[in-house]
Structure 1
């Protein structure tokens, strides 16, 4: 079973990335769009367009999550699930999505802000620093498992 993990290292990573991306997008949409009403996915038009954009964003988050969990189920079935590598993928996917959202969508494209207040920089900093922390934690976990993948390939003569 241990060697099977190494055969599915990339699949564990991609399953985690898709799940992380989908979960953080779902939380963003649920908390900031629906419950707190801080913004819509697309705020440069009418409220109706904003609600439609939220719906499309919500569907995207579920497609990513479901895709990630299909890969997860396949890994479990094949006895190739590697929890630490998968968790690293989740953190990496969540962090990359959040950093992309904070830099590209909030600042470069300006399709919405985190919150419409005078001193939005505080919200931006918390958002992007949290994203960076998730990316760093994910990379650390992945580096730990990457060493094992390399060692396994060397000891198996690959």
Structure 2
């Protein structure tokens, strides 16, 4: 799960950085300074995202070579990582630290609800898959005894 948790965090950070920072230009990672600092902060986020993806792919490849991948655990880790990143960004970065907002509009509530709601949905999917994987693992272990 750790390998795909890294992949989930990295992929969600990539989607955020590419779609919302670059294509839509709704915000930078750090919007409380000059545009140059905002662009630099996006580059640092992009670097961190690439490190997460590289680490996740490396770990996943090592597990795959040993035939040690549980598909349900892998998907659970992916969704937990993606949802965890999304919700952390929405609550900590947007609201607590105020590094940036989803979008700079008069009525921010629909954007916040959509952003955090999507993160929560991904987490719920991840937890459900994790519980299902755990139950299937226990069934397999009990069945082999």
- 1:63 correspondence with 2:44: no
Q: Superposition pairs for residues 71-110 of structure 1, below 5 Å?
A: 71-110=59-98
Q: Distance in 1 between matches of 2:63 and 2:3?
A: 9
Give the whole-Å Cα distance in 1 for the aligned partners of 2:34 and 2:63: 44
- TM-score between the two structures when normalised by the length of structure 1: 0.87
Unmatched tracts of structure 2, length 5 or more: none
1:27 aligned partner? 15
Runs of 4 or more above 6 Å deviation:
none
Q: What is the CA deviation profile of residues 57-96 of structure 1, one whole-angstrom value per residue up to 9, with x for unaligned ones? A: 0000110011011111011100112222111111110001
Listed as ranges, the gaps of 5+ residues in structure 1 are 1-12
When the two chains are superposed, the root-mean-square deviation of aligned CA atoms in Å is 1.3
Match of 1:9 in 2: none
Q: TM-score, normalised by structure 2?
A: 0.95
Hey, what does 2:111 align to over in structure 1?
123
Correspondent of 2:41 among 43, 53, 57: 53
